[in-house]
Structure 1
Amino acid sequence: MNGLYGVCRYRNDISVIECDEIKFHKLEEVSKPESLRFWMYLLLYVGLLLFSGFMAGLTLTLNSTDLTTLEVLQSAGSDLEKRYAKSLIPLAKKHYRVLLTLVTLNALGVIILPILLDRLQNSVVAVLVSATLVTLFGEVLPLAICKRNGLQIAYHSSFIIWVFYYVLFPFTLPLSVMMEKMLGKYQGHFFRRSELEALIAVHSTRQPTAPKSDIDVNEESNAQQPRSLLLSEEEVRLIRATMHMHIDTAKSVMIKWENAVKLEIDEIITPKVIESIYKCGFTRIPIYEKPATPIGILNVHYLLALKGSVWVSVRAFTQSIKAMPQALLPPKLVDSNTKAFQLMEMFHTCRLPRMAFVMLSDKKQNALIGIVSLSDILRRWMSIGDENDDMSSTLQYSS
């Protein structure tokens, strides 16, 4: 530039002016409401703001409604919930890639919004207004809406999610593989035993309230509807008792040997003995040989068939009924540490007869310490005693 004057000219881009080989960039003017560009930027800004909020809401929905919840709804939900869950389960199984897709789209929207607003206002105002609008319409409001109706919104938006899922495939695939190696394969949320027990207890105490729009004209049926959604105290008690059965063992549910009703092999069966057994109401009685050797389990029906005047030893009686397999069952031994659930399965599959002898699980000694039956396990489960089926009763008779 020579003297006070110089030669300047526009380059191909009119925003750049070159004066004596020195380039000057022209500052972009803020668009005015009178211009078409202003309304284009404003429309694009509003659309991008809604899109960003939509992605934020979907992110919350698909993270709060995990794979386990969807599988539960698919199995036990209403017809509408089953349809929603069936459509969303494939997305939930690709958790990391879907999450990366939604977060990426939301982040792009949040980044571009201030740039667009800068075309409409000065930079300071653009940042302040953009931060306020993004917080309100791009985060708070979408999250509140999707938290309440997230399943329905995600179902109707699943096609859009799949489109962006494949569009961003080159970017999200390597990141999702890396996340899976670092965090492990996503399998949904599973409750620990203690958490599940607490969840069941909460469902018995929390009172669900139906929306006013759902109130029926029939007040009586409407009043009973919320109660049907609850678990009764009895149901909760039985469920929790079932969950505790993994702790119970044969030793904790058995009748101690010294308290059990039993017959010694050399004992004489008298009318008094038969009468006492009849009053106890048992169908099976253990037979043993002193000091505590299991012989078998006697079917009481055959014993009651004896004539009242007959006096016979238990040994002689058992010899006489050997030809009848159901009369005297061979002894079945179980370890004292056998779990109650295992015992129930053995009784159910007939691997154990109606009764089993419990042996002490000690390498030094293998002593008989009690008897256990299916009734003992069920009584422990229900915490209900039945005096007519209590093997700890004592035979009351005189020789």
Structure 2
Amino acid sequence: MLSAPAALALLYNVALAVAFPTTTGNLLKHTAEPGDEPDEKIGSEGFFLKLGLSAVLVLLGGAFAGLTIGLMGLDPLHLQVLANAADDPKERANAKVVLKLMRKGKHWVLVTLLLCNVVVNESLPIFLDSAIGGGIAAILISTATIVVFGIIPQAVCARYGLAIGAKSATPVLIVMYILSPIAYPIAKLLDWALGKEGPTTYKKAELKSFLQFHRNSSLGSYTSPTEESPLPLTDEEISILNGVLGLSEKRVTDIMTPMHDVVTLSADQILDHNMVDKILTSGYSRFPVHEPHQPLSFRGFLLVKKLLLYDPSQPKRVGDFRLTILPEAKPNISCFQALDYFQTGRSHLLLISKTPGQSGGALGVVTLEDIIEEIISEEIVDETDVYEDMHTKRRAKRQSTAAIMRGIVERENVKRRMSDSSFAGSTTASQPGTPLAGGAGPFKPGEANEQTRLLSPIAEGSGGSTASTPKASIMANGEDYVNAKGGEPNGNGYGSVRFSESPPKL
């Protein structure tokens, strides 16, 4: 009978052996009762020989157990991605080696490693029992070998499975061919019973979830790109990828501008000076044209660029112009279908109608800009936008942070007379005859001069002017251009500033 401590140790060892069946847990069934003597005397040649063989078997058992976890835990799709597009050349080479091994047959690799592990585990007790005997010593040694040479190799191979698998690919392949008379038929039987593992693919929802995990893991971990650590996906890039993945699932009715918010023209409307001014200042480039007194029956749309050579002193009706065909589509088409049509170049405006080709069914319009906004998952605000979202009527808010303006220079050619006090206050010279900044020649009061000025974001909280700010800077090429004074608002959320030194070339 075993003592209570020995029984507890035995139960603990059995639990470990069940949890880690690829370890040396089978040693327990060969342990003898307390008091058994070893076959070899301690210090003899046979003792060291069997002890050395036991150590080799323990190492092999740990290696086979670790390789089983490491190689079987590698995703074939991930291996293909790494083999084709890994940034690290070593990682790419390792992936190709492991992928070549796994293409021999994943079940063949698995059966080979398990057979080797069984042979090692069954052989180990034969040498270890004859060297140290049974009893408490065997239990303690077996427990230690389970912890050290069972758990640790599996943990290491699970973490560095690709690198270790690539280094061990050739020995594993040799063992596979040696054991092929036994392992290969068993592997084929598993292929028949379980089926071969096919290529792994992801659905759109799974890809979106994967991108969201990437976004969450990247928060607060931004580092500058290096050869060893390339720049990760930015939040904007992830938003664009999500937008593209959802484009075919979103209907055009979700993003269209309703007809009651669309600016239209009647075919019998006279284009006089007043109407042309309204059209040109509206900020729109295309105007749907409907039949007289039929606001939902459209002829086509008018391109504003056709009014460039138009003389309002000889007014014409809108219907007298050559109108562009206004394409119509049903409300159930996807945004991706609308994008495919826009890419043909036939039109960048699409009328959504309940009865395409017939009058009276107009619901709204979709533009190429609406599709792009869905792709980038942000609203595009141009120079004339009043509302950011035609559905929610949110006011357009232009962003003017240094991060967004980095690397961008806006130029404005302005002709003003030096007698203008506002312009004189923005210059660095206060006396006539002082050379202009940037190497320009001297000026005289009342003389018209042309200046190229840079535009930079107005500092937040400055009340729309940079005059109170000692320095107004613009980010270009990642550096601040400073020494700019005398900014003045231009009405678009930016301030016009003139540099006291000529700006560097970009």
TM-score by length of 2: 0.60
User: Corresponding residue for 2:363?
Assistant: 369
Query: Could you tell me which of 84, 90, 103 is aligned with 2:100?
Result: 90
Contact 2:37 2:134 in 1 (8 A): no
The Cα offsets for residues 13-48 of structure 1, whole Å up to 9 and x where unpaired, read as xxxxxxxxxxxxxx9971223543333322221111
Give, in whole Å, the separation in 1 of the partners of 2:305 and 2:189. Answer: 70
- Does structure 1 residue 52 correspond to structure 2 residue 64? no
Give, in whole Å, the separation in 1 of the partners of 2:152 and 2:219. Answer: 31
- Does structure 1 residue 336 correspond to structure 2 residue 331? yes
Higher relative CO (Cα under 8 Å, sequence separation at least 6) belongs to 1
Q: Which amino acid aligns with 1:45?
A: S
Query: Could you tell me which of 85, 91, 94 is aligned with 1:81?
Result: 91
Contact 1:333 1:356 in 2 (8 A): yes
The Cα offsets for residues 357-383 of structure 1, whole Å up to 9 and x where unpaired, read as 123389xx9922111111011123332
- Does structure 1 residue 205 correspond to structure 2 residue 199? no
Q: Which amino acid aligns with 1:337?
A: N
Contact 2:38 2:134 in 1 (8 A): no
Query: Could you tell me which of 305, 310, 318 is aligned with 1:306?
Result: 310
Residues 316-327 of structure 1 aligned to structure 2 (within 5 Å): 316-318=320-322
Give, in whole Å, the separation in 2 of the partners of 1:225 and 1:188. Answer: 31
User: Corresponding residue for 2:40?
Assistant: 31
**Residues 239 and 264 from structure 1, CA distance in 2 versus in 1: closer, same or farther, beyond 3 angstroms?**
same
User: Corresponding residue for 1:99?
Assistant: 110
Give, in whole Å, the separation in 2 of the partners of 1:111 and 1:133. Answer: 17
What is the aligned-residue RMSD (CA, Å)? 3.4
Contact 1:267 1:314 in 2 (8 A): yes
User: Corresponding residue for 2:161?
Assistant: 150
Contact 1:204 1:236 in 2 (8 A): no
Q: Which amino acid aligns with 1:85?
A: A
The Cα offsets for residues 171-203 of structure 1, whole Å up to 9 and x where unpaired, read as 333443444455443246555134313322223
User: Corresponding residue for 2:467?
Assistant: none
Q: Which amino acid aligns with 1:83?
A: A
Q: Which amino acid aligns with 2:214?
A: I
Give, in whole Å, the separation in 1 of the partners of 2:253 and 2:270. Answer: 31
Q: Which amino acid aligns with 1:312?
A: K
Contact 1:356 1:372 in 2 (8 A): yes
- Does structure 1 residue 382 correspond to structure 2 residue 377? yes
User: Corresponding residue for 1:297?
Assistant: 301
The Cα offsets for residues 258-283 of structure 1, whole Å up to 9 and x where unpaired, read as 21122233333332222122112222
- 3-state SS, counterpart of residue 269 of structure 1: coil
Query: Could you tell me which of 70, 73, 76 is aligned with 1:67?
Result: 76
Give, in whole Å, the separation in 2 of the partners of 1:51 and 1:168. Answer: 16
Aligned-pair CA distance for 1:62: 1.5
- Does structure 1 residue 315 correspond to structure 2 residue 319? yes
- Does structure 1 residue 257 correspond to structure 2 residue 263? no
Aligned residue pairs total: 343
- 3-state SS, counterpart of residue 329 of structure 1: coil
Aligned-pair CA distance for 1:105: 1.7
Aligned-pair CA distance for 1:286: 2.2
- 3-state SS, counterpart of residue 68 of structure 2: helix
**Residues 160 and 110 from structure 1, CA distance in 2 versus in 1: closer, same or farther, beyond 3 angstroms?**
same
- Does structure 1 residue 277 correspond to structure 2 residue 279? yes
In terms of fraction of residues, the more helix-rich structure is: 1
Give, in whole Å, the separation in 2 of the partners of 1:268 and 1:183. Answer: 77
Task: Using the aligned pairs only, state the percent identity.
Answer: 26
Contact 1:355 1:372 in 2 (8 A): yes
Give, in whole Å, the separation in 1 of the partners of 2:90 and 2:228. Answer: 20
**Residues 345 and 183 from structure 1, CA distance in 2 versus in 1: closer, same or farther, beyond 3 angstroms?**
farther
Give structure 2 stretches of 5+ with no counterpart: 1-35, 392-506
Q: Which deviates more from structure 2 when the two are superposed, residues 143-152 or residues 55-64?
A: 143-152
Aligned-pair CA distance for 1:226: 10
**Residues 296 and 115 from structure 1, CA distance in 2 versus in 1: closer, same or farther, beyond 3 angstroms?**
farther
User: Corresponding residue for 1:288?
Assistant: 290
Give, in whole Å, the separation in 1 of the partners of 2:123 and 2:208. Answer: 47
Aligned-pair CA distance for 1:50: 0.7
Contact 2:251 2:332 in 1 (8 A): yes
Give structure 1 stretches of 5+ with no counterpart: 1-26, 210-220, 319-327, 394-399
